[in-house]
Chains A and B, each alone.
Chain A
Amino acid sequence: MNSSAKLSFLIIDTGNSRSFDEADPFRDLASSGGSDVAIILGSDMTSGLIQIAQASFVTVLVELQTECLSAHIPDNFGREGGNVIGFSRYRLGNSTLTKLVELVVQPETDDAAKAAAVAIFESAGLVPVTCRDMPGRIVDRLIRPYFNQALTALDEGLADADQLDRALTLGLGYRRGPIDLMRESGLEAHFHVTDAIYRAIGDVAYLPARRAQSAIDRRRRGEHP
């Protein structure tokens, strides 16, 4: 990360950020005041806080969990937009953070706000991509059905876990197989993400696979997931 480039943004931290934890060097790039850009981090986001920031800053970046940006912005029947942009730095469950930042824009989001968001994250050595405000954004929208399929393939005896991972890493050049990734990131995390997408769009490809549902059942009974 290039710490010499002091970026003009302010961080408003509501706690428990998944994108930038307390020790993340990205936070060192923030200024303490007098900035045009506010980044609101954390899981205790409120619409009121966003509205205040929206009135005070030229650009507001709002950290998202599994929810859409529209969960925080009033609906305008396809004409939403303005200076608020959602973002999420991608990680599988509690695995290591990646460099990917998914930026969530709405139909009428300001071009200047988009450019500012891209510039801030690129300057920090991260990789921003832009997507519309849809459940699962890009990566979870693509990878979660793939994980569901892998779990179902085990149930159906298509191959065992090692064969599946070996075939997909060798055949498609993937760095790691789906079972290996789920072992690390956890079935519960998979359940929570897929369940949120399934509830939002109703596509059965996102219905959490049996093994993920069982992990949640075990957790609810207080057993090891």
Chain B
Amino acid sequence: MTVSPDPMPAPPTVAVIGCGTMGIGIAIVAARGGCPTIIYDADRARVSKALAEIEMFLAGSVKRGKLDPQTATDTLARFILASAISDLASADLVIEAIFEDIAAKADLYGALNRVCPSGTVFASNTSTLSITRLAAASGRPENFVGLHFCLPAQLMKLVEVTPGLRTSAETLTRSRTFCEAVGQIPIETKDRPGFILNHFAIPLNNRAIRLVEQGVATARDIDLAMKTAMGFPMGPLELVDLVGLDTQERLCDTFFSITNDPALACPPLVRQMVAAGWLGKKSGRGFYEYSSSATFGAEG
């Protein structure tokens, strides 16, 4: 039986699962917003590595005058490192940010459902999968919601808040309230592949990749053109490098399998780059070469 969530304490205890680029960003948002924040990854080594990256990001923020030293210290003190799923039992809100594989996510929710109190809200940071389908796998569809943060989450304010067919109004309200409390801007979207952002961003990025593939223009000229003409803060190929070529490949495969839209099919160049180990910024080479793979905003 699904139990309606209790009123979320202020601040709620937040658990973030997955210590990749997105998970780290979301964890920073939650902790900086005053929430005790549990971080967990199936690969335990990634948890301590994540904390080191978070520390570096906060130090960078202080250095640039974006954060005062005491707030950085307080934020860092709010992190709790989990070594097992059972360590997440005290969370009021669990935000899952693992790779886009519905079977893997379903397994995870099954494990969480056995550990967390029935009132705990489960949220997925998925950008392509159906919230209703994930909610069905969670065992608590009324307490399930999509919370899609934007990359880099620690700097971007938007959160796409997506109810599934069975998400309760209370869960939706609590999710929006959480977002606002930690300084984010929630926008409600429909449970459709890609919601709003990826519905637009993935095809646009794929088209940019295909222009490189077809030799129409270089990555540098494509990015420069879009920044100069359209005022984009970064070019589409710079963005793909930041997201990661492997992530782009997974997004395309997931998205295409749901929609059969050829604009979303993974460009062969992406598969070649992934095979070559050119994963973007995190591997030091993608469409561009990089000297640092530090978390966005942590440099300098």
Query: Which residues of chain A have a CB within 8 Å of any CB of chain B?
Result: 90, 98-100, 102, 127, 129-132, 134, 138-139, 141-143, 145-146, 149-150, 153, 157-159, 163-164, 166-168, 170-176, 178, 205
The reply to whether A132 and B158 contact each other, CB–CB distance below 8 Å, is: no
A-B interface pairs (CB < 8 A), number: 127
* Contact among A99, A127, A145, A170 with B187 in the assembled complex (CB-CB below 8 Å): A170
The reply to whether B222 and A167 contact each other, CB–CB distance below 8 Å, is: no
The reply to whether B157 and A134 contact each other, CB–CB distance below 8 Å, is: no
B45 located at the interface, meaning its Cβ lies under 8 Å from any Cβ of chain A in the complex: no
The reply to whether A167 and B225 contact each other, CB–CB distance below 8 Å, is: no
| C-alpha spacing A171/B218, complex, angstroms | 26
| C-alpha spacing A205/B275, complex, angstroms | 29
| C-alpha spacing A150/B197, complex, angstroms | 11
Q: Would you mind naming 18 contact pairs between A and B with Cβ atoms under 8 Å apart?
A: A90-B225, A90-B229, A98-B228, A129-B224, A134-B216, A138-B226, A143-B229, A145-B263, A146-B204, A158-B190, A158-B196, A159-B189, A164-B196, A168-B196, A170-B156, A172-B233, A174-B230, A176-B231
Known: A142-B204, A158-B190. A132 touches B230 (CB 8 A): no
Query: Which residues of chain B have a CB within 8 Å of any CB of chain A?
Result: 150, 156-158, 160, 185, 187, 189-190, 192, 196-197, 199-201, 203-204, 207-208, 211, 214-218, 221-222, 224-226, 228-234, 236, 239, 263
The reply to whether A166 and B187 contact each other, CB–CB distance below 8 Å, is: yes
Give the residues in chain B near A170, CB-CB below 8 Å.
150, 156-158, 185, 187
| C-alpha spacing A173/B158, complex, angstroms | 10
Give the residues in chain B near A98, CB-CB below 8 Å.
228-229
* Contact among B192, B201, B211 with A172 in the assembled complex (CB-CB below 8 Å): B201
The reply to whether B232 and A173 contact each other, CB–CB distance below 8 Å, is: yes
Give the residues in chain B near A171, CB-CB below 8 Å.
150, 156, 158, 160, 196-197
Give the residues in chain A near B221, CB-CB below 8 Å.
129-131, 138
| C-alpha spacing A220/B225, complex, angstroms | 34
The reply to whether B204 and A163 contact each other, CB–CB distance below 8 Å, is: no
The reply to whether B187 and A142 contact each other, CB–CB distance below 8 Å, is: no
The reply to whether B231 and A175 contact each other, CB–CB distance below 8 Å, is: yes
In the complex formed, the residue of B with least CB distance to A173 is B233
Give the residues in chain B near A168, CB-CB below 8 Å.
196-197, 200
The reply to whether B229 and A139 contact each other, CB–CB distance below 8 Å, is: yes
Give the residues in chain B near A100, CB-CB below 8 Å.
225, 228-229
* Contact among B207, B216, B228 with A132 in the assembled complex (CB-CB below 8 Å): B216
Give the residues in chain B near A174, CB-CB below 8 Å.
230-233
**Nearest Cβ distance between residue A108 and chain B, in whole angstroms?**
14
| C-alpha spacing A175/B231, complex, angstroms | 6
Q: Which 3 A-B pairs have the closest CB atoms?
A: A175-B231, A170-B158, A173-B233
The reply to whether B225 and A159 contact each other, CB–CB distance below 8 Å, is: no
**Nearest Cβ distance between residue B147 and chain A, in whole angstroms?**
13
| C-alpha spacing A123/B158, complex, angstroms | 39
**Nearest Cβ distance between residue B273 and chain A, in whole angstroms?**
19
**Nearest Cβ distance between residue B267 and chain A, in whole angstroms?**
14
Give the residues in chain A near B197, CB-CB below 8 Å.
167-168, 171-172
In the complex formed, the residue of A with least CB distance to B204 is A146
Known: A142-B208, A145-B204, A173-B233. A132 touches B215 (CB 8 A): yes
The reply to whether B190 and A141 contact each other, CB–CB distance below 8 Å, is: no
In the complex formed, the residue of A with least CB distance to B148 is A171
**Nearest Cβ distance between residue B213 and chain A, in whole angstroms?**
12
The reply to whether B216 and A141 contact each other, CB–CB distance below 8 Å, is: yes
Known: A149-B199, A171-B156. A127 touches B224 (CB 8 A): yes
| C-alpha spacing A157/B192, complex, angstroms | 11
In the complex formed, the residue of A with least CB distance to B149 is A171
The reply to whether A159 and B196 contact each other, CB–CB distance below 8 Å, is: yes
| C-alpha spacing A168/B221, complex, angstroms | 23
**Nearest Cβ distance between residue A198 and chain B, in whole angstroms?**
14
Give the residues in chain B near A167, CB-CB below 8 Å.
158, 160, 187, 189, 196-197
